[in-house]
Amino acid sequence: MHAELQLDNQICFRLYTAARLITQAYTPMLTELGITYPQYLVMMVLWEKDCQPVNDIAHRLLLETNTVTPLLQRMERLGIVTRRKGEQDKRQQIVSLTKKGREMEDKAYKLIPAGMGETLKTCPLQIDDYTQLAGELDTIIETLKNK
């Protein structure tokens, strides 16, 4: 067996597992909000800046528009976003938060940071460790997204 092919030697497995477990930890809080983790990511993009084209949302999330569009359709059915044709370019879809979607931000703020803090309270990492980790992950993301 080649050491390079052993599961315990794979950073990709650790990243995959950490991402899956973090998403799992978010699930009870997101269930309270009535949304999924991918929908939460879209909501964060829109809470940062409302009224964005689908292409911009997809770009921000490093996803293809054909992945984001069905997600937005489900969110529209939930009544948390609306989609309309762009004014200058009718082919462009502009996504906006509804009143319900905007109100969800305060509820998410009360639930999620505290909830994740509670979930990770036994983890020995400090805030500086998370900041360093985020920077290292950003480096990996930047390297891979340009391939």
The average pLDDT across 125-131 equals: 92
Mean pLDDT of 35-48: 98
Beta strands in the chain (DSSP E): 52-53, 81-85, 93-97
pLDDT at residue 137 in the model? 96
Q: How confident is the model at residue 19 (pLDDT cuts 50, 70, 90)?
A: very high
* 3-145, CATH topology level: Arc Repressor Mutant, subunit A (1.10.10)
Distance CA 89, CA 92 (A): 6
pLDDT at 45: 98
- State the pTM of this model: 0.92
Take residue 30 and report the two structure tokens written for it. Answer: 């997101």
Q: 61-90 pLDDT, tens per residue?
A: 999 999 999 999 999 999 999 999 877 777
**Residue of 101, 119, 8 lying closest to 52 (CA atoms):** 101
Residue 91: pLDDT band by 50, 70, 90 thresholds?
A: confident
DSSP state of 34: T
What does residue 63 show for φ and ψ, rounded to 5 degrees? Answer: -125, 165
Extents of the domains making up the chain: 3-145
